[in-house]
Amino acid sequence: MRALVIDDSRAMRRIVGNILKDFGYEVREAGDGQQALDALREGKAEGWVPDLCCIDWNMPVMDGLQFVMAVRANPHFRQVTLMMVTTESETGQIVKALAAGAHEYLIKPFTADALRDKLALLGLLPEEVSA
Amino acid sequence: MTLQEAQSITALLDQETVQSIADEIWPALVGDGEAFVPVPVAPPAEVVSAWVTISGPWDGAVVLTCAPATAEALAESVLMTRPPTVVDDEDVADALGELANVLGGNIKSVLPGPSSLGLPQIGSAPTTGRLDDVCRVNGQWRGQSLTITVQGATPALHPSGTEVPQ
């Protein structure tokens, strides 16, 4: 499984990335939505398309919601699962992200178990981890 | 201006709520078994702050303040670094900023909305506005002073804002 972790905080990228690596994921990182779009395009050119994107909401240059809309507008990335991982916890924000095309929503702070549960719901937990 | 817009933070939030939010954040972000203890200790001579602004029916900032050495220790804990790896200034700013960001996001969720959250900033804490528009929890982490302040905006924080009661 492959994941792209998108967050302007290096610390948060490391935390999310380490949890995903423990679950067996191969992880790449991006510091904002635009970098993530570039990473998707470059990845596709080399045959690396992520199964999952973990996306922060508030980022400079391009925020998480704009990234979700951009990915959903591109048919090449239709199979990529998008999960918001953010401090934005107002119901209106969650509805907006899901309406834009995000599949799941995880509110910071979270535990490794909470992320694991979300991945299980999405069918993105490698079998050896779910066992 | 509506009555809600004129409310001070102390009418919207209490110290127990701030503490309960910190209680969730510390183990998840700083590390297993870590806690923000709401027992004040002597404040340090030199401090650094990280904050995020909240803009909406209530305008202000959530500020995390501690000594530079405490900020460095927090960064080491958040980033789970082990010797000989050392954190640099950018790591410290990033980790302290992310703590302020998560604190701010969770505090925003208990305030009247809709509101928007600014990006984390680091440096000298913004000046506080009205004295009754401040909710502060003085505490400690690993015995070192740490303060969480939720403070109303001043014109310096939101130069174009018109909703801040004077």
Residue A79 lies in a domain: yes
Residues of B in contact with A89 (CB under 8 A): 105-106, 108-109
Shortest CA distance from A89: residue in chain B: B109
For residue A35, the enclosing domain spans: 2-126
Q: Which of B109, B110, B122 to mutate to test the interface with A (most CBs of A within 10 A)?
A: B109
CATH number for position A68 = 3.40.50.2300
- Please write down the HEC assignment for all residues of chain B: CCCCCCCCHHHHCCHHHHHHHHHHHHHHHHCCCCCCECCCCCCCCCCEEEEEEEECCCCEEEEEEECHHHHHHHHHHHCCCCCCCCCCHHHHHHHHHHHHHHHHHHHHCCCCCCCEECCCEEECCCCCCCHHHEEEEEEEECCEEEEEEEEECCCCCCCCCCCCCC
- Write the DSSP symbol of residue A90: -
Count: domains in chain A: 1
**What average pLDDT does this structure show over A94-116?**
95
According to DSSP, the residues that pair with B141 across neighbouring strands are B144
According to DSSP, the residues that pair with B66 across neighbouring strands are B48, B146
Angle of helix B68-78 relative to helix B89-108, nearest 10 degrees? 80
Three-class secondary structure of residue A112 per DSSP: helix
For A14, the closest of B79, B108, B118 (CB atoms) is: B79
Which DSSP string do the residues of B89-100 spell out, in sequence order?
HHHHHHHHHHHH
Residue A78 lies in a domain: yes
Shortest CA distance from B95: residue in chain A: A11
Extents of the domains making up chain B:
9-127+136-152
The pLDDT tens digits of the residues spanning A1-60 come to: 999 999 999 999 999 999 999 999 999 999 999 999 999 999 999 999 999 999 999 999
Residue A131 lies in a domain: no
Q: What is the ipTM of this complex?
A: 0.88
In angstroms, the CA A34 to CA A31 distance is 8
Annotation: CATH topology of B9-127+136-152? Chemotaxis protein chec (3.40.1550)
- In tens digits, chain B (166 residues) has pLDDT values of 444 455 899 889 999 999 999 999 999 999 999 999 999 999 999 999 999 999 999 999 999 999 999 999 999 999 988 777 889 999 999 999 999 999 999 999 999 988 999 999 999 988 887 888 999 999 999 999 999 999 998 764 454 433 333 3
Task: Confirm or reject contact between B158 and chain A (CB < 8 A).
Answer: no
Interface touch A9/B25, C-beta < 8 Å: no
Calculate how close chain A gets to B9, using CA atoms only, in Å: 18
Shortest CA distance from A90: residue in chain B: B109
Calculate how close chain B gets to A12, using CA atoms only, in Å: 7
Residues of B in contact with A95 (CB under 8 A): none
